[in-house]
């Protein structure tokens, strides 16, 4: 464990950092290293004289230097590696640089570029970051957790790497996702990076390329499953909550057979969310609600088709379904507004479905449809017969929203809401410039990946990005700030409403339906406040009743800056 102590004044403001580390040990600690920003006095006190060039720089001067170096890399993967190496060297400088250029760098450290970094994990292995808990070491779990770097942990992102983005089973390469998510928590939500822990649960891999790759660094074994897997997860949850009873545990990229089951098992026992289901569901619903405002049609009247019925697609459906129930629809009426498709086509009661898909199975109301293929109900058939007002893609099938399908949808709807959400960019169901062209500028668009502004009919359109970075950092910040016992559906609904209220369409129906990513700090604070207030209403906040929630959240937030150092 690294050795440092934060010194605060009577108002709780940080005034100094106290550490016993000196020389190379201090420079090698990314959470403490200031590089050439160490003053001459600090260099003398901590045995750094001669290790650094003479000039003392400010943090802003260092950022300017790093930004020039960043642009010397000409590929997104090269830039991703550069930023991660900087993070390994000096965390404060990394966060200051990335926060000043957030819209430019978030797609580099997070989606879509992190997908490429995950695939090359064993070839680009760098300084270890986080914990790897492998199945063969399951009996050493508590001692592994004792080896963690931060002494106190508020939040952890945990993955087993089975369902990474749209690229599937990547084994221990999933640790890059855990690290990227935690970067986003800090960049977009202000979560203290000194109190977070990325964890990779190495339970094997079913990816034949990795199993046969001599350079693969993980446990070369087929994935454990069934009771073995459940027992291992239970051991892990028991061990980490024993160490940190108030921890916020974020599950990420777990396999579709396990994700919902694990969430259902633990959500009433610990403070936890599943990022793919609930984080994506919140931002997906907020995007839909903003699109509904722009469309001018009440939510209860919309017909929703979702292509991709995995954890993300069904997670969005669940959130929108809940909103429809709140709008006054009965359970039967609300379910009837959804048509979900997966690999075998439209979900019907005759199909073999996973438990979380079953509520959305269509009944006999599709029996009289005219189909292109009598044995398969595809997207074309659904759009032709349903005439949807909202079309959402979570399928990772590039180009699935074809010109024929989009034009057919637009012929029946004044302002169709179309959301190709699959990541990375290469797997998006449609490109925004095509959607605007095919709908003659009528489409209300949100993409899952970053796309450049589009010129159509002599007008520029900013393409809203339905990025869960607008949701989960605020949810985590609010839960951590009040030490919430659980994350409830009502807390997620509060987060959704707060995010929806930040949409530019509330002022102009022709505006993009989501805020810019550069505004995520503002958005996250509003989401965090809504989550904290709801946690307090439900009796789940473990802070004094008289505490001012805005002050509590501000105190829990972290900003990248250097502090004076003094010797322990």
Rounded-to-integer distance, Cα 396 and Cα 425, Å: 9
Element (H, E) at 100: helix 91-100
DSSP structural state of residue 106: H
Q: What is the side-by-side order of every strand in the sheet holding 4-8? A: 4-8, 14-19, 565-567
Cis peptide before 424 (omega within 30 of 0): yes
Asked if residue 93 lies in contact with residue 59, where contact means CB atoms within 8 angstroms, the answer is yes
> Of 155, 257, 137, 161, which is closest to residue 196 (Cα–Cα)?
155
Rounded-to-integer distance, Cα 6 and Cα 3, Å: 10
Among the listed residues 34, 79, 96, 181, the single catalytic one is 181
Q: Which residues does residue 4 pair with via DSSP β-bridges, in sequence order?
A: 19
Q: How many CA atoms lie within 13 A of 550 on its CB side?
A: 2
Asked if residue 156 lies in contact with residue 247, where contact means CB atoms within 8 angstroms, the answer is yes
Query: In the numeric block, which tokens belong to residue 435?
Result: 């959607």
Q: How many CA atoms lie within 13 A of 561 on its CB side?
A: 10
Is 89 among the residues known to form the active site?
Answer: no
SS3 121: coil
Query: In the numeric block, which tokens belong to residue 460?
Result: 């520029």
Is 110 among the residues known to form the active site?
Answer: yes
Instruction: Give Cα 519 to chain centroid, integer Å.
Output: 16
> Of 223, 138, 137, which is closest to residue 172 (Cα–Cα)?
223
Residue list, annotated binding site for (S)-malate: 423, 467
Among the listed residues 34, 79, 95, 110, the single catalytic one is 110
Asked if residue 462 lies in contact with residue 453, where contact means CB atoms within 8 angstroms, the answer is yes
Residue list, annotated binding site: 252-253, 276, 423, 467
Rounded-to-integer distance, Cα 203 and Cα 223, Å: 5
> Of 327, 313, 219, which is closest to residue 260 (Cα–Cα)?
313
Residue list, annotated binding site for a divalent metal cation: 252-253, 276
Burial call 492-522: b when 16+ CB within 10 Å, e when fewer: bbbbbbbbbebbbbeeeeebbbbbebebbbe
> Of 46, 115, 45, which is closest to residue 80 (Cα–Cα)?
115
Rounded-to-integer distance, Cα 52 and Cα 463, Å: 45
Asked if residue 32 lies in contact with residue 17, where contact means CB atoms within 8 angstroms, the answer is yes
Positions annotated as catalytic residues are 110, 181
């Amino acid at each position: 464990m690294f050795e440092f102590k934060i010194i605060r004044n009577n108002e709780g403001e940080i005034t100094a950092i106290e550490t016993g580390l000196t020389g190379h040990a201090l420079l090698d600690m990314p959470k403490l290293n200031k590089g050439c920003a160490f003053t001459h006095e600090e260099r003398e006190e901590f045995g750094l004289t001669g290790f650094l060039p003479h000039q003392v720089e400010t943090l802003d001067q260092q950022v300017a230097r790093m930004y020039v170096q960043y642009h010397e890399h000409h590929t997104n993967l090269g830039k991703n590696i550069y930023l991660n190496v900087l993070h390994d060297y000096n965390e404060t400088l990394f966060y200051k640089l990335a926060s000043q250029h957030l819209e430019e760098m978030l797609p580099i450290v997070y989606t879509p570029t992190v997908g490429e970094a995950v695939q090359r994990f064993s070839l680009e292995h760098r300084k270890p970051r986080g914990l790897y808990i492998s199945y063969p070491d399951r009996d050493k779990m508590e001692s592994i957790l004792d080896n963690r770097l931060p002494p106190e942990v508020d939040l952890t992102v945990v993955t087993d790497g089975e369902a990474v983005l749209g690229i599937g089973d990547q084994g221990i390469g999933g640790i890059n996702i855990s690290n990227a998510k935690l970067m986003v928590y800090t960049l977009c939500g202000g979560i203290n990076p000194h109190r977070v822990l990325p964890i990779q649960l190495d339970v094997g891999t079913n990816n034949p390329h990795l199993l046969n790759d001599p350079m693969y660094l993980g446990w070369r074994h087929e994935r454990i499953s069934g009771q073995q897997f459940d027992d291992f997860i239970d051991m892990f949850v028991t061990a980490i909550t024993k160490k940190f009873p108030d921890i916020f545990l974020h599950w990420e990229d777990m396999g579709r057979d396990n994700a919902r089951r694990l969430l259902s098992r633990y959500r009433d026992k610990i403070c936890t969310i599943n990022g793919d289901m609930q984080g994506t569901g919140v931002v997906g619903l907020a995007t839909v609600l903003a699109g509904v405002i722009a469309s001018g049609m009440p939510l209860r009247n919309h017909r929703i088709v979702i292509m991709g019925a995995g954890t993300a697609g069904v997670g969005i459906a669940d959130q929108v379904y809940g909103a429809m129930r709140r709008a006054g629809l009965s359970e039967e009426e609300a379910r009837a507004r959804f048509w979900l498709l997966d690999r075998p086509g439209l979900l019907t009661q005759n199909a073999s479905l996973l438990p979380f898909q079953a509520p959305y199975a269509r009944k006999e109301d599709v029996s009289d449809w005219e189909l292109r293929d009598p044995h398969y109900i595809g997207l074309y058939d659904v759009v032709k017969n349903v005439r949807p007002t909202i079309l959402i893609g979570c399928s990772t099938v590039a180009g699935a929203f074809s010109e024929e399908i989009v034009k057919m949808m637009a012929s029946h709807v004044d302002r169709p809401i179309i959301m190709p959400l699959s990541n990375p960019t290469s797997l998006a169901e449609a490109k925004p410039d095509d959607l605007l062209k095919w709908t003659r500028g009528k489409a209300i668009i949100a993409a899952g990946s970053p796309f450049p502004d589009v010129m159509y009919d002599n007008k520029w359109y900013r393409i809203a990005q339905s990025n869960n970075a607008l949701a989960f950092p605020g949810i985590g910040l609010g839960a951590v700030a009040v030490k919430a016992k659980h994350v409830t559906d009502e807390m997620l609904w509060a987060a959704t409403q707060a995010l929806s209220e930040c949409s530019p369409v509330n002022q102009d129906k022709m505006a993009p339906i989501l805020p810019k990513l550069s505004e995520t700090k503002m958005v996250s604070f509003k989401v965090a406040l809504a989550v904290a207030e709801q946690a307090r209403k439900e009796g789940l906040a473990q802070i004094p009743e008289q505490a001012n929630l805005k002050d509590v959240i501000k105190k829990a937030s972290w900003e990248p800056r250097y502090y004076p150092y003094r010797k322990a």
